[in-house]
């Protein structure tokens, strides 16, 4: 294999990896993250940030800007940024940052790609368990909501009983 062929192969591998990471972060943040910021930077351009913090040793941020056409409610995306911080031992290390404009991820610009393999191995493991993790998190959220509703019902019942006992001049 020539040097050019080898380099071309490495470039294609990196593009594929960047794409896989980009789409994984978009999916996971969309499903489990929260909106951090939305502001009109230049009318009618809107900038939005969504994040997912302290998730299996990572924090993720997606920032994007889009042009909102008031006439036909169409969103024309102008730029996406995806950033990943690896959080080993209470540190916060920016390990991945990519920005792209336009319609093709092939035109992206990688600002950060930490060559240390520990974050990448951990991220690949997380990516391989994406569906299972999302299912677990959603189930946990449902269980927490169920518990919260049950506690609220108990509190309402307790308030009702106290009111009834007070009306009967009972000591509580």
Token reading at 54: 């302290």
CB neighbours of 22 closer than 8 A, spacing ≥ 6?
A: 80, 82, 98, 105, 108
Which of the 8 DSSP states describes residue 28?
A: H
Query: What average pLDDT score do residues 9-23 get?
Result: 91
Q: What is the pLDDT of residue 49?
A: 84
Query: What average pLDDT score do residues 7-21 get?
Result: 91
pLDDT score of 16 more than 60: yes
pLDDT score of 29 more than 90: yes
> pLDDT over 70 for what percent of the chain?
87
For the whole model, what pTM was predicted? Answer: 0.73
Averaged pLDDT score across all residues of the chain: 85
Given a contact cutoff of 8 angstroms between Cβ atoms, the answer to whether 81 and 21 are in contact is no
Annotated domain spans of the chain = 3-128, 130-172
Segment 64-115, tens digit of pLDDT: 877 666 665 565 667 788 999 998 777 889 999 998 876 666 778 899 999 8
Query: What average pLDDT score do residues 6-32 get?
Result: 91
Asked if residue 49 has a cis previous peptide bond (ω within 30° of 0), the answer is no
More confident residue, 1 or 128: 128
């Amino acid at each position: 294999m020539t040097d050019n062929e080898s380099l071309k192969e490495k470039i294609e591998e990196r593009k594929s990896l960047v794409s896989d990471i980009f789409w994984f972060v978009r999916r996971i943040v969309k499903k489990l993250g929260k909106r951090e910021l939305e502001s009109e930077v230049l009318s009618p351009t809107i900038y939005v940030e969504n994040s997912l913090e302290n998730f299996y040793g990572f924090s993720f941020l997606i920032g994007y800007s889009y042009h909102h056409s008031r006439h036909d409610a169409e969103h024309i995306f102008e730029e996406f940024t995806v950033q990943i911080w690896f959080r080993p031992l209470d540190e916060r290390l920016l390990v991945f940052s990519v920005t792209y404009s336009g319609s093709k991820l092939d035109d992206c610009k990688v600002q950060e790609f930490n060559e240390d393999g520990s974050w990448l191995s951990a991220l690949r493991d997380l990516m391989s368990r994406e569906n299972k993790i999302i299912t677990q998190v959603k189930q946990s959220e449902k269980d927490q909501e169920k518990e919260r509703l049950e506690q609220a019902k108990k509190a309402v019942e307790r308030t009702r009983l106290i009111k009834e006992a007070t009306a009967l001049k009972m000591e509580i």
